[in-house]
Chains A and B, each alone.
Chain A
Amino acid sequence: MGEGQIAGRKGDRIVARIKTFLHNDYLNLVVRIFVGIVFIYASIDKIADPGQFARIVYNYHMLPGSLINIFALILPWVEMICGISLILGIYKEGSILIFNMMVLAFIIGISVNIIRGVNLECGCFTVSSKARSSAIDLLVRDIGLLALTVYLLFSKSKRFDLVGRRA
């Protein structure tokens, strides 16, 4: 007797520790700032040159022709506004949801084009056609980013939010 119980309690303790770690206010803040900066930085070049970005979007061959320009115009602003929202903690939950959807969509877009064998320009951080990384690198990078946004989805921390902070 006893051993199973102790092991059980040990398991509980590990789960409790993971939970504490998951909801740690400072870890949450660091991840938020990092993800926010990544997206804000990613948006700048695309906001500056939407025409170039539209061409890259077109090359993904994922959207009907009539939606490409409007998508290329709005997407970088969503990255920028949601990045700011995430860092400041204003409507943070909304931006976390959007980032999760967006990274998921990027992963699907890149995967589909790897399968199709299209030589892809990422359009991630720059619209310059010089910057071409391998599609697998892009995929790994986006999966890493997804891990962070999923973490934010489950981590409950409001301590550093400007809006909705617990008293």
Chain B
Amino acid sequence: MNGRLAQALILIVISALAAIVTNAVRQENLDLMGNWPSVSGSDSIIVPPSAQEGDPPFISLDEAAAKFQSSEVLFIDARDQEDYEYGHIRGAINLPYEEMDLFWDEVSPKISRDRPLVLYCSGEECETSLMLAREMVLQGWTDIYVFFGGWREWEKAKLPVERGIE
């Protein structure tokens, strides 16, 4: 039994070395200690690890909820259609980032360039809202916010949602 444990430890050490070495030589490597948010409160702004200088502003759940009160603000759901149909922030428009080619021509004319936009996806682990925000900035939209807590935070807070296609 002890032999078994010793073997297991050796295998794990070999794997850890392989992981650290391959990560070190990789171009897009990960920080060994990531800065993933441990807890997310409603007033804390969740910022993804890949955020860069010049990205659109990130807003917290509270700020997103405040913007939701204004009829001027439009919410954009960057998840795929299946997730959107399952449930989305009430009034949000679906523009799946991963299939943007299919949706862009149909959806983008509906999005006025004068209205403030709040982009979101599932939550902290997805970055499609940020990717879509960058793309839309390139395409000329200016008033864009990213709500990175996303669908999960919104739903957890029991804020208004909608099911199915609008």
Question: Which residues in A have some Cβ–Cβ distance to B below 8 Å?
Answer: 47, 50-51, 54-56, 58-59, 64-66, 68-70, 72-74, 76-78, 80-82, 85, 91-98, 118-119, 121, 129-130
Q: Is the CB of A56 within 8 A of B125?
A: yes
> Taking A91-B7, A94-B8, A129-B126 as contacts, is the C-beta distance between A70 and B32 under 8 angstroms?
yes
Interface size, B (range): 35 or more
Most chain A CB inside 10 Å of its own CB: which residue of B8, B9, B33:
B8
Instruction: Let me know if B114 is at the binding interface, CB within 8 A.
Output: no
B22 partner residues in chain A, CB cutoff 8 A = 47, 77
> Taking A59-B125, A97-B4 as contacts, is the C-beta distance between A65 and B38 under 8 angstroms?
yes
**Minimal beta-carbon separation of B29 from chain A (angstroms):** 8
**Minimal beta-carbon separation of A121 from chain B (angstroms):** 8
B127 partner residues in chain A, CB cutoff 8 A = 55
Q: Is the CB of A50 within 8 A of B23?
A: yes
Q: Is the CB of A95 within 8 A of B7?
A: yes
Instruction: Let me know if B16 is at the binding interface, CB within 8 A.
Output: yes
**Minimal beta-carbon separation of B23 from chain A (angstroms):** 5
From the candidates B8, B98, B124, name the one contacting A95 in the complex (CB within 8 A): B8
**Minimal beta-carbon separation of A8 from chain B (angstroms):** 32
Q: Is the CB of B34 within 8 A of A66?
A: yes
In angstroms, Cα B123 to Cα A65, docked, is 15
In angstroms, Cα B7 to Cα A102, docked, is 15
Q: Is the CB of A51 within 8 A of B28?
A: yes
In the complex, residue of chain B having the shortest beta-carbon distance to the beta carbon of A72: B30
